[in-house]
Amino acid sequence: MSLAEQVLEGNIRAAARLMRDIDDSRPQAIEELKLLYPHTGNAYIVGITGPPGAGKSTLVDQLTASFRTQGKKVGVVAIDPTSPFTGGAILGDRIRMNRHSCDEGVFIRSLATRGSLGGLSRSTSDVALVMDALGMDIIIIETVGVGQDEVDIVKEAHTTCVVMVPGLGDDIQAIKAGILEIGDIFVVNKADRDGADRTARELCTMLEMRQVVTGSWNPQVMKTEAQRGTGIDELTAEILKHREFLFDSGSITDFLRERNQRHFMDILRDTLFKKALACMSDKGSIDRIVDGMINRRIDPYSAVEDVVTKMMPEFKR
């Protein structure tokens, strides 16, 4: 049996092997994903994002336990940063979720960013796809600690939770611009700390200043203490409330169309880049182009057009 067939039968080991192949960019993984794709689209994806130290991993651990009490199977994709010097990653988020290691209804996979920007790993979408095919009802994606504009999670998650924590100085400054706009739910974690109420009030004020479209979702500000499990049931209920809104309002159709388009464009971009790079490296074209650029005999724009023309003769300048 292929790995895809084993995954569809609920084989955890096969799913883990396929995820490893995906993360290692092995060509055979693509063929397995082709077989799995028609059997996906059932899982609900929840994104957890926010700055480093906000308690995202502990929050994910508590959310996983909360969804399990409702009988839902939960998959967790935890993104960890990669060292820009050694290329290594600790992948330590699983340590905080160790209590679920013996639960057959929970599957946890850590991924390294491997240089990807936006808070996610390049293989996040495909790993989530495997979890979907495996039968997970809820997939929680925890991003690496993000700043103001790492908002790729909104491309993947049906519901995006932005997690903040008091004591970061200028709290609103820390989440302005893009990250403030992507949240479906805002969570002030470690709410027992001084300044939690002020952070929550400032968030509410910022949300009230946004232009509201009639019939759109109204994001709520929740307060939690993930370490103690306080506010977790309320957060779970709010996530499910947002899910109900997406389906009842019909917004889910537009979301899925946009997500699938982005997914297709990302795969197309990566595939074309790899093919172009392979084509040039075989003939030493890159060295010649770089040498020509240094001497100003070749401009990079014409060089790219030439490469594309060689790959696709029908391409015209």
Burial of residue 236 (number of CB atoms within 10 Å: 0-12, 13-18, 19+): buried
From 15-24, 123-132, 203-212, the region with the lowest mean pLDDT = 203-212
Per-residue pLDDT at 315: 61
Confirm if 133 and 12 have CB atoms less than 8 A apart: no
Name all domains of the chain by residue range, CATH numbers in brackets. 1-36 (no CATH), 40-249 (3.40.50.300), 262-311 (no CATH)
Reported as a single tens digit per residue, the pLDDT across 185-204 is 999 999 999 989 988 888 88
In the chain, the amino acid numbered 262 is R
State the pLDDT at residue 239: 97
Evaluate if residue 148 carries a pLDDT over 80.
no
Q: Which burial class, exposed, middle or buried, applies to 31 when counting CB atoms under 10 A from its CB (0-12, 13-18, 19+)?
A: exposed
Q: Which residues contact 43 (CB under 8 A, 6 or more apart)?
A: 75, 128, 131, 132, 136, 137, 138, 139
The answer on pLDDT for 144 being more than 90 is no
Q: For the CA atoms of the chain, what is the radius of gyration?
A: 22
- Residue with tokens 């389906």, as numbered in its chain: 247
At which residue do the structure tokens 């508590």 appear?
A: 62
Q: Which of 311, 145, 163, 282 minimizes the C-alpha distance to 232?
A: 163
pLDDT-based confidence at residue 8 (cuts at 50, 70, 90): very high
pLDDT digits 0-9 by tens, 158-188: 999 999 888 765 555 545 555 677 889 999 9
Model pLDDT, residue 1: 84
**Digit-coded pLDDT (tens) for 58-115:** 999 999 999 999 999 999 999 887 654 444 445 555 566 777 777 889 999 988 876 5
pLDDT of residue 172: 54
pLDDT of residue 63: 96
Spell out the residues 6+ positions from residue 247 whose beta carbon is closer than 8 angstroms to its own.
none
pLDDT band for 130, please (50, 70, 90 cuts).
very high
CB 67 within 8 A of CB 163: no
C-alpha to C-alpha distance for 63 and 238, rounded to whole angstroms: 12
pLDDT digits (tens, 9 = 90+) for 16-54: 999 999 988 898 999 999 999 999 999 999 999 988 888
Closest of 184, 165, 181, 198 to residue 238, by C-alpha: 184
pLDDT at 84: 46
> Is-contact 139 60, C-beta < 8 A?
no
pLDDT of residue 88: 46
The string of pLDDT tens digits covering residues 280-314 is 776 678 888 999 999 999 999 999 888 888 887 76
- Enumerate long-range contacts of 80-83, CB under 8 Å, 24 or more apart: 80/110, 80/111, 80/112, 80/113, 80/144, 81/112, 81/113, 81/144, 81/145, 82/112, 82/113, 82/114, 82/115
Residue 51 DSSP label: S
Task: Classify residue 225 by burial, with Cβ atoms within 10 Å: 0-12, 13-18, 19+.
Answer: buried
List strand residue ranges (DSSP E) for 33-73, in order.
Answer: 44-49
Q: What's the token pair of residue 16?
A: 């883990």
> Residue 306 gets which letter from DSSP?
H
Condensed to tens digits (0 to 9), the pLDDT of residues 219-265 reads: 999 999 999 999 999 999 999 999 999 999 999 999 999 999 988 99
